[in-house]
Structures are given as structure tokens and as C-alpha cells.
Amino acid sequence: MPPNIIWITDDQHRYDCLGCNGNPVVQTPHLDALAAQGVRFAHCFSQSPVCAAQRASFLTGRYPHLHGQLSNGFTMAPGEVWWTELLRDAGYLTAGIGKMHLEPWDDAHGFEHRYIVEGKDFLLGEDEYAKHCKAKYGFIRPRAEYTRRGLTMSDPMPSAVPYEDYIDTFVTDEALRFLGHTKDDARPLALHVSLLSPHHPVDPPPEYFERYAGKPVPPHCFSPDEKQTKPPEQIEQMWRWDRADEAHRQRMWRSYYALVTLVDDQVGRLIDKLGEVGRLDDAFIVFTTDHGEMLFDHGLFDKAFAFYDQVVRIPAIVRWPQRLPAGAAVDAIVESTDLVATTLAAAGLDVPSFMTSRDLMPLMRGEVDSVRDYAVTQHFNIRSLRTRDMKLVFYGGRDYGELYDLSADPDELHNRWDDAAYAGAKAELMRRLADWAVWSTDPRFRQLPEPTNKGAYPDYLRSWADTKAYYLP
């Protein structure tokens, strides 16, 4: 029987904010245990630094310029296929509980069961959490109450609701109820539980914030020179967040840590319930996020026009007992879309030719050393190409950009875009980005059938195989 497929995602979670990823302060015992039972990726990169575009990518296995969800508020192109639809058609019971952040916001999106809780900081319609808060507290979301108090998204604050009504607790409660109803369903389960923290507002319940009172936070990653050397989109935001003094920054970090721990507790509840209903032992479990968060590094808050590793490098864990090694760490570069092909492979399904996703099973089993030489992230006219030791950020239609020597400058403080000493490295990365732009236009052409009519040129190339070998990398 195919395995149960469990995706657990959260929102705006930095790679460096997990214990298993080397953070000595943040408390994430359940996610650390998941990593100890499976494979942890050290260099997994998001395909977009904004929620909707990235979520569409890790559910379609395609880049944003292909699926059309270019940013928040956009709509995917007609005909896009989710991995949940493929599993549903293969006989899986499919369910999506929590945030999807796609348009239409209340669409089933390939799920047989959908429980809609769409966001912490805004609302396109009245979802299940809004109904709950409105009935119990008189506001449709805690964010509405914070706005009434004059607070902004960059202000850390105590939650306006207790833990039992916090949005992630609410989503998990529904997931546990749903799992209880699946106990007698013989079909394999494909469940996506999408939690909403540590996305702003950064408003942990007090008992979670108190765990981090006085705890150390990372030093501020910022250089005053960045206000002269970074693109204007970033400089504008730097001035906007200049008012964040060190005490404010530290409180934000501790509040963020508190929300990460709250998320981790929900993961623990989900794992326990999977065991209780008999769906854990063979489960293929993925944990990841959409993107990270700046937390005032480089003078920035939130994400959007930033392609720093704080935003584009994301946590990713895959656990599948007896099929994958336990406690393994993969250091090779992967893209978050690759988790889609990997999920389909676990279910015994072929990866459709229109996906840009690559199966990571051979990489996780140590059969190959890599599946990609670089990762690409995009937002509107901006493209970032990241190798192990270099990063290029190209702004289409602009004469400026970003170039970082990660081996010498891992914090990405010094922009080498106009540095003559890096002209060769910049040209090579631009060539790779141009190659990617060509080959990623639509991967379906790689699967074209062999032509049956060669017209007047029967000997142009000896075979279709020769043609593909000559023209395709």
C-alpha cells in the first residue's frame, strides 16, 4: 500500500531558527526529533521570497514565472496541477488544513477536504478562524485588535488571545479532529497541515515569550555601508526600519523564537496523533516553510525585495522510516520545488514532464552527490542565482544588482556588483542565469515525441536522440 503523505509547513521560518540546524537557543525538540529520524537539508532554497508565489511553487513543482502566481494577490495560470490533485486521482484521501494563500482563496485546490484559515495579518474573506474570533472576542483576528491599539507588524507584542485560541493551536486542533475521522478510512492519506507562525504579527502567548526572557539573540547582521551599496528597493526599507533600536530588535528575536517553539509544539501534537490513529509508522513526512524573515538583519524587516539567505534559505526535513537514512544531513543545493517530485516518487507516481521539480530520493540515499549546481529564486523582475560560494541578484531593466562572494562574505554585507575584481565571476553567473532562463521556459519541450516527418532534411541529425543530446544540456 502507498505510504501516508504528510506535509507540515509553517510561515516565514528562518533556516537558522531550528535546534537541529545549529541554533543553541531556540527550543524545537519535536522538529529536532523529526530530523533525527530522517534527512535534514542544509541548503534548500525557496523559489520566491513572498508567500503566495512560493506556496504555488511547492504545490505545483514549478517556478513562479511558469505557474503565474508572481506575488501575493496574483492568480495562478489556468490548468496548473497540484501534487495533491495527482495523489487524489491515484486514490489518496487528500486534505488541506490551514493557510494556502492562493487565489481563489476559498478554492479546494485539489483537496477533498479543505479547512480554511488563511492568514494572521490580513483576510480576503471570513475564514474559519475569523468566525471563531468574531464569535468569542468580537474581532475577526488579533491583528485587527493590534491595529486598533496603534501597533504595526514590526512591533513584537503579547497575543490578544490565549494559547488555546491562538491561530496555530486552532489549525492543529482541526487537524487532530480530522485525523481522528480517518481512523476507519482504508485509503492512504495525503494531508497538508499549514501553520501560520512565526509570520508577523510576532505575538506569542505570554507563557511562550517568558521562556526566552533574557536569552541571547544573534548579533545584528548589518553594516552602515549597506545604505550606499545596496539596491534602492532595500535602502528605502532600511530607512523605514531605522527606528528599531537594539532593545526592540532583541525583543523581536525573542518573540520570534517563542513562536517557533509554539509551532514546534503543534508538530509534536500532530506526530502523536498520527501514531494514535495508526498512520505514523509508514508515513512520508515533509516539514518545510515558504521563506524566511529578515528580523532587522541588513536593516530590513519582513522579506519581499530581499534575497539574502535569511529569506531564501529555508528549513527542510524529510522522514520516511526504513526507506531513508535516519539522522542524515544533505549539504547539496536543492530547491524547495524538489520536494514535490520527491513526494510523488514516494507515492509511486511518475513526475509530470511539466514540473521543474527533481526527485531527491537518490540524493537522500547517498546514491548521487548533487541534483543541482545552483538554486534560483524570483520575484517580479528580480532573479537570484545562488551557488555554494557565490550569489547573483539580477534586477531586470535596471543597471544595478547584487553580487556576493559567500566564501569570503557569508553575511552578504559587501555588494561586489560593480567591483572589477569580480567581473569574471559576475559574467559566469550571468551566463548561468541566461541558461536557466532558456531551459526553464517550460520543461515540457524536453519530453516532445520523436518527429515522424523530417521533411526534406532526413539526414540533418541522425535521430531524435541526437537532436536532444545536441541541443539540450
Residue-wise pLDDT tens digits, 338-380: 999 999 999 999 999 889 999 999 999 999 999 999 999 999 8
Report the Cα 5 to chain-centroid distance in Å.
Answer: 18
All domains of the chain, ordered by start, with CATH?
A: 5-373 (3.40.720.10), 381-471 (3.30.1120.10)
pLDDT of residue 125: 67
Q: Is the per-residue pLDDT at 50 higher than 70?
A: yes
What span, in angstroms and rounded, lies between the C-alpha atoms of 263 and 195?
A: 7
Q: Is the per-residue pLDDT at 330 higher than 50?
A: yes
pLDDT tens by residue, 271-301:
999 999 999 999 999 999 999 999 999 999 9
Q: Is the per-residue pLDDT at 124 higher than 70?
A: no
Whether the Cβ atoms of residue 49 and residue 236 lie closer than 8 Å to each other: no
Whether the Cβ atoms of residue 19 and residue 28 lie closer than 8 Å to each other: yes
Q: Single out the residue of 318, 309, 362, 291 nearest to residue 20, CA to CA.
A: 318
Sole residue written with cell 497541515: 193
Strands 39-45 and 328-335 come out as: parallel
Mean pLDDT taken over the chain = 90
- Rounded percentage of the chain residues whose pLDDT exceeds 70: 91
pLDDT tens by residue, 69-82:
888 777 777 888 89
pLDDT tens by residue, 16-33:
999 999 999 999 999 999
pLDDT of residue 402: 98
pLDDT tens by residue, 214-271:
999 999 999 988 988 999 988 888 866 665 689 999 999 999 999 999 999 999 999 9
Mean pLDDT of 28-54: 96
Is residue 101 very low, low, confident or very high in pLDDT (cuts 50, 70, 90)? Answer: confident
More reliable by pLDDT, 235 or 194:
194
pLDDT of residue 272: 98
Span of 94-98, 386-390, 407-411, 462-466 with lowest mean pLDDT: 462-466
Q: Is the per-residue pLDDT at 393 higher than 90?
A: yes
pLDDT of residue 448: 45
In 277-392, where does DSSP find H-type helix? 309-312, 338-346, 361-364
pLDDT of residue 271: 98
